Chain A
Amino acid sequence: MGGVLEFKGKSYEIDDDGYLINWQDWNEDIAGQLAKIEGIELTDAHWEVIRFLRNYFLQYQIAPMIKILVKEIGKVMGPEKGNTKYLYELYPGGPAKQACKFAGLPKPTGCV
């Protein structure tokens, strides 16, 4: 993998794990397509997470800590959904990896 992903007349550079190289390239179309590649149809619940990730990234230039995400989703979707179990149900590949991929965020590196 890695290289260029063509979708609806646009080209997107992706890395070996299928992440967008440039977070600026992201749009809702490509989010849907990246999810589809991994067999996931995005629902409103998925979008709630993606939008939060996207907004957080624009403000802080990094994906949020998982616990920030959990707390936020709990606030928006109700306390029964503010847990990692719920997020894993939505994103079986892990909220940090899979949801960030669909949201077009780069992978954090270092001691993580």
Chain B
Amino acid sequence: MSNKVPTPDELSKIDYTPPKKGWMDTPVEFKPGTWCYGSRPKYLESVDFPNPRDWKPTDDDWKLPENWKEIFLKGMEERLRKYRSFRLFMDICVRCGACADKCHFFIGSGDPKNMPVLRAELLRSVYRKYFTASGKLLGKVAGARELTIDVLKELWYYYYQCTECRRCSVFCPYGIDTAEITIIARELLNLLGLNTDWIAGPVANCYRTGNHLGLEPHTFKNSIEFFLSDIEDITGIKIEPSFNRKGAEILFITPSGDTFADPGTYTCMGYLMLFHELGLDYTWSTYASEGGNFGFFTSNEMAKRLHYKIYAEAKRLGVKWILGGECGHMWRVLNQYLDTWHGPADFLEEPVSPITGTTFENAKSSKLVHIAEFTADLIRNGILKLDPSRNNHLKVTFHDSCNTSRGMGIFEEPRFIIRSVCNHFYEMPEDTIREKTFCCGSGSGLNAGENMELRMRGGFPRANAVKYVKEKHDVNMLANICAIDRAALPPLMDYWVPDVRVAGVHELVGNALVMKGEKERIVDLRGEPLPVKSESTSSEEVKEG
């Protein structure tokens, strides 16, 4: 049963006093509301993951194979050989502590094992014991420890308390990418069937239907058609997009959350309206119907298997290039992994905007263009007719998603778009945005309902920065370009900063976009009344481009 989350007042009393004993002698405690359910066997079975069985993280017996230790250490050995980065990150930390207070989970929980340095040390200590001479010889003195069942449980608990957001890495003088350590740790845990239901479920669904939610082709199409009927009600314009159309110029891919859950659905309406207005020659796919990749939260191999469909579908349909929607980790995978796994995608063409003629040189190799780049380019070239006063009821701030900011450096494009489609935009404090952005607290598959206390703790620094701009500028809308954000930030706001709502950037675009032949709009994409226009604003504030 879901645990009752403490009140914000209770939760904000964070105790930063470390335990009396050293960390190796402080056993892991599974606190209620801070961990996700173990994966059901059927999900693991469907993708041939090891050790499918019913289990609970709080059970004494995790029903592991007898030789679990051997499996874990052998897995570690293989990965030390395969990933030079992993070996390097196991070796080079000098424990300077620069990362210690940069993690949102440490800030929100006060638990020292949520300091990135110590989180990594949980695995490093095992590495030293079995893979270094000093650790083998000197043991604890050299920071080494035996891999026991309690250590394994500790690894599980804390590596599912990291969102792989990489904020700590920004501050590491050695450039240690703690997310990569978490990724490998989770791979090792997966060798023993130690997954979570919230991650394994979407993985199994995605493998079967092409998307995390398990939307069948007719369901996917039905969702889009529902948005089209709403768009027609609001604008009077009938839109007829295509699905699985061979010969389209562009394949569009977005996280399936946008086709199912509010407020992502409004973002999806924004895409549909924009593409229609441009007359873009593009298609949706009911097979490559997921931009996100929860496989990335289990193992690199699974991530690779799930994202294979994107290039495969592009090839099958014969498109020229791929346009991707507002998602976070999707872009970490597409931008930094996909080309290596499945590329070069030389059956595709170097992406060129058919509307402006701009060549997206940064996507020369991957052939994948981020929609923020695409739309910013349209606006810069004066293609879109925009009426930002339609967003006058919104005072907007922008949350940089961890993966698009630190993973691919998308800082300016979403801001440029927001400034073009809204009249009221305010930045959160400098240390909480751009490459130093604070995580939503629910990324990397931690956004399960039963994990709510951890999510509220992890999201506390982000919420605190939102609270600041709310108090200073009456901010009431938190914009972002990530589907996990759109799912995770609404409960975070309800908890810490009530009355601030959450929107994808293309929802704001959809509101402001003046479409050819549209009727006078009286409601926004949420069906809520538009602000009343004073006479002077209506013509002056319409921006060309």
* Residues of A bordering B, CB below 8 Å: 1-2, 15-18, 21, 60-62, 65-68, 97, 107-112
Q: How far is the CB of A86 from chain B (nearest CB, A)?
A: 15
Whether A62 contacts B213 by the Cβ 8 Å rule is yes
Say which one of B171-179, B239-247, B257-265 lies at the interface with A. Answer: B257-265
User: Which A residue sits closest to B222, measured CB to CB?
Assistant: A60
Whether A111 contacts B1 by the Cβ 8 Å rule is no
**B223 close to chain A: CB less than 8 A:** yes
Q: How far is the CB of A111 from chain B (nearest CB, A)?
A: 3
Chain B, interface SS category: helix
**B501 close to chain A: CB less than 8 A:** no
Instruction: Say which residue of B2, B37, B219, B256 sits within 8 Å of A111 (CB atoms).
Output: B256
Q: How far is the CB of B149 from chain A (nearest CB, A)?
A: 22
Instruction: Say which residue of B1, B230, B256, B450 sits within 8 Å of A110 (CB atoms).
Output: B256
Which residues on B sit within 8 Å (CB–CB) of A66?
262
Enumerate the 8 nearest inter-chain pairs by beta-carbon distance, A residue then B residue, closest first: A111-B257, A110-B212, A111-B483, A112-B261, A60-B219, A109-B201, A110-B202, A1-B1
Which residues on B sit within 8 Å (CB–CB) of A107?
449
**B486 close to chain A: CB less than 8 A:** yes
Q: How far is the CB of B219 from chain A (nearest CB, A)?
A: 4
The B1-55 residues at the A interface (CB cut-off 8 A) are: 1-2, 37, 40
Q: How far is the CB of A13 from chain B (nearest CB, A)?
A: 10
Which residues on A sit within 8 Å (CB–CB) of B265?
65, 67
Given pairs A60-B222, A62-B216, 16 additional interface contacts (CB within 8 A):
A17-B1, A18-B1, A61-B216, A65-B262, A67-B226, A67-B230, A108-B261, A109-B197, A109-B202, A109-B448, A110-B255, A110-B292, A111-B327, A111-B484, A112-B257, A112-B260
Whether A16 contacts B37 by the Cβ 8 Å rule is yes
Whether A60 contacts B484 by the Cβ 8 Å rule is no
Whether B292 contacts A111 by the Cβ 8 Å rule is yes
Q: List 30 A-B contacts (CB under 8 A).
A: A1-B1, A2-B56, A15-B37, A16-B1, A16-B37, A16-B56, A16-B450, A18-B1, A60-B219, A61-B216, A62-B214, A62-B215, A67-B226, A107-B449, A109-B197, A109-B201, A109-B202, A110-B201, A110-B211, A110-B212, A110-B213, A110-B255, A110-B292, A111-B257, A111-B292, A111-B483, A111-B486, A111-B487, A112-B257, A112-B261
Which residues on B sit within 8 Å (CB–CB) of A110?
201-202, 205, 211-213, 255-257, 292, 294
Which residues on A sit within 8 Å (CB–CB) of B84?
none
In the complex where A16-B450, A17-B2, A65-B226 touch, is A109 in contact with B261 (Cβ < 8 A)? no
Of the candidates A66, A110, A111, the one having the most CB atoms from chain B within 10 angstroms of its own CB is: A111
Q: How far is the CB of A61 from chain B (nearest CB, A)?
A: 6
Q: How far is the CB of A110 from chain B (nearest CB, A)?
A: 3
**B198 close to chain A: CB less than 8 A:** yes
User: Which A residue sits closest to B482, measured CB to CB?
Assistant: A111
Which residues on B sit within 8 Å (CB–CB) of A17?
1-2, 449-450
Which residues on A sit within 8 Å (CB–CB) of B37?
15-16
Which residues on A sit within 8 Å (CB–CB) of B2?
17
Query: What CA separation (Å) do A62 and B205 show in the bound complex?
Result: 11
Which residues on A sit within 8 Å (CB–CB) of B294?
110
Which residues on A sit within 8 Å (CB–CB) of B198?
109
User: Which B residue sits closest to A18, measured CB to CB?
Assistant: B1
In the complex where A18-B1, A62-B215 touch, is A67 in contact with B486 (Cβ < 8 A)? no
Query: What CA separation (Å) do A51 and B500 show in the bound complex?
Result: 34
The B262-321 residues at the A interface (CB cut-off 8 A) are: 262, 264-265, 292, 294
**B169 close to chain A: CB less than 8 A:** no
The B398-456 residues at the A interface (CB cut-off 8 A) are: 447-450
Whether B256 contacts A60 by the Cβ 8 Å rule is no
User: Which A residue sits closest to B202, measured CB to CB?
Assistant: A110
User: Which A residue sits closest to B485, measured CB to CB?
Assistant: A111
Which residues on A sit within 8 Å (CB–CB) of B223?
65
Of the candidates B2, B255, B483, the one having the most CB atoms from chain A within 10 angstroms of its own CB is: B2
Query: What CA separation (Å) do A15 and B38 show in the bound complex?
Result: 11
Whether A67 contacts B262 by the Cβ 8 Å rule is yes
Query: What CA separation (Å) do A66 and B264 show in the bound complex?
Result: 12
User: Which A residue sits closest to B442, measured CB to CB?
Assistant: A111
**B218 close to chain A: CB less than 8 A:** yes
